[in-house]
Amino acid sequence: MKTIIPGLLALLFIFPLCTSVHAQEEKWKKLNDETVSLYKQGQYDRALVVATQALQVAEQTFGANNTNVAAILTNIAMIYLAQGQYAKAEPLYIRSLAIREKALGPDHLDVATDLNNLALLYLVQGRYAEAEPLYKRSLSITEKAFGLDHPSVATSLHNLARLNHLQGRFAQNEPLYKRSLAIREKTLGPDHPDVAALRGLALLYRDQGQYAQAEPLFKRLLAIDEKAGPNDPLLAIDLNNLASLYRTQGQYAQAEPLFKRALEIWEQSHHSDPFEMAQILNSLAEIYCVQGQYSQAEPLYTRALAIREKVLGPDHPDVATSLENMSALFRKTGREQEAESLEERAAAIRAIKR
C-alpha cells in the first residue's frame, strides 16, 4: 500500500479551494467591470441587476466587511443616485464608509471618496448641514495625503465651495474657488477640461450680479468645452450658464439659442442630467413667459416640474420653485384657482425645516 505524506495530503485539499476562490474573484471582477460599463452607458436598470449579482459574489467570497464589498456597495449607490432613488442610495454609502473606515483607517483616501459620495447625496437633496462636515473631513484627509497643491485637493476645495455657494455664503466661497482654480491651472494647464473651479467662480460672479466679470469666464469655458466635441455634457452645462447670464440681463435673443442647444445636447445624451434638463426647461420657459409667449412657456414648466418631482421628490425646494413659476403663469393667464392651489403647495414645501 502506498503511503500518502500528510503534508502532501493537505496540499491536495488546499489546491482545489484556492482554485475555487480564484474563480470567484475573477467572477466578481468581471461582474464589477460590467456594472461600471453599463453605468457609463446609462443602462441603470441592467447595471443594477449585474451589481446585485456582484455584491452576492463579493460577500460570499471576501466576507461582508471586505473593501471589495464596499466597492460594489458604492457602485449600487451611484446607480440609485443617478435614478434619483436617494433613500436607497444612502444606507449603501453609509455601509461602504463604515467598512472602509474599519478596514483601512479613518484617514485613508478611499474613506475620503466615500465621504464625498455621501456628501453629494445630501447636497442634491438640499441637506446642506449634513453635507458640510463630510466635505470638510474629506478635504482634511486629502490635504494630509497629497499636500496643499494636488488636483485632488482642488476637487475637495471645489466641493466645499459649491456647498457654500448653494447656501449663499459668497464671502467664504470666492477664496475656495480661486485656490482650487490656481491648483488646477498650475498642475493641469489653463485649458484643461478639468477646471471646475473656473465654472464655479463664473457662477459666483453671476449670482452676485458681477456680470462683466462672469461673461469672459463662461466664454473661456465654452472654448475649452468645444474641443471635447459638440455633444459633450459640460458644453451643455456651460451653454446653459452663459444663457442664464444673458437672460438675467434681459438679453433674451442671445439667451434663447444657447438654452435650446444645451437642451438638445442633453436630450441626445446617454448620460443626461435630469437636474440640468429641468433647469434649462425652466429657464427657457421664463424667457417665453417674460415676453408673453405663455403657450410656449407652459409645456416647458410642466415638463420641468415633472422631472423635479420624479428625481428630487415632492418636497424638494426646486419643486417649490417650479410650482411658483407655474402659478405665476396661471395668474397671468387668468387661471386664479389653479395658481392658488400651486402657491399653497409651494408654501408648504418652503415651510419644511431642513
| Residue 44, domain member (yes or no) | no
The reply to whether 161 falls in a domain is no
Q: Quick one: CA dihedral 137, 139, 142, 146, positive or negative?
A: negative
Indicate whether 329 belongs to any domain: yes
The answer to whether residue 345 is domain-embedded is yes
Q: Where a domain ends, among 146, 176, 200?
A: 146
Report the CATH number that the domain containing residue 325 is assigned in CATH. Answer: 1.25.40.10
Domain count, the chain: 2
Cα distance between the two ends of the chain: 79
Distance CA 55, CA 308 (A): 30
Last residue of a domain, one of 146, 172, 201: 146
Per-residue pLDDT of the chain (354 residues; tens, 9 = 90+): 444 344 433 444 444 444 466 788 888 889 989 999 988 887 888 999 999 999 999 999 999 999 999 999 999 999 998 888 899 999 999 999 999 999 999 999 999 999 999 999 999 988 999 999 999 999 999 999 999 999 899 999 999 998 998 888 888 888 999 999 899 889 888 888 777 778 889 999 998 999 999 999 999 999 998 888 888 888 998 999 999 999 999 999 999 999 999 999 988 876 667 878 898 999 999 999 999 999 999 999 999 999 988 877 888 888 999 999 999 999 999 999 999 999 999 999 998 876
Residue 94: give the domain boundaries. Answer: 75-146
Question: What does the pLDDT read at residue 168?
Answer: 86
Task: Please report which residue ranges of the chain form alpha helices under DSSP H.
Answer: 6-40, 44-62, 67-82, 86-104, 109-124, 128-146, 151-166, 170-188, 196-207, 211-226, 233-248, 252-268, 274-290, 294-312, 317-332, 336-350
Flag whether 334 is in a domain: yes
- Structural domain includes residue 137: yes
pLDDT of residue 21: 63
123 assigned to some structural domain: yes
Last residue of one domain, picked from the residues 97, 130, 146: 146
pLDDT reported for residue 8: 38
Residue 236 within a domain: no
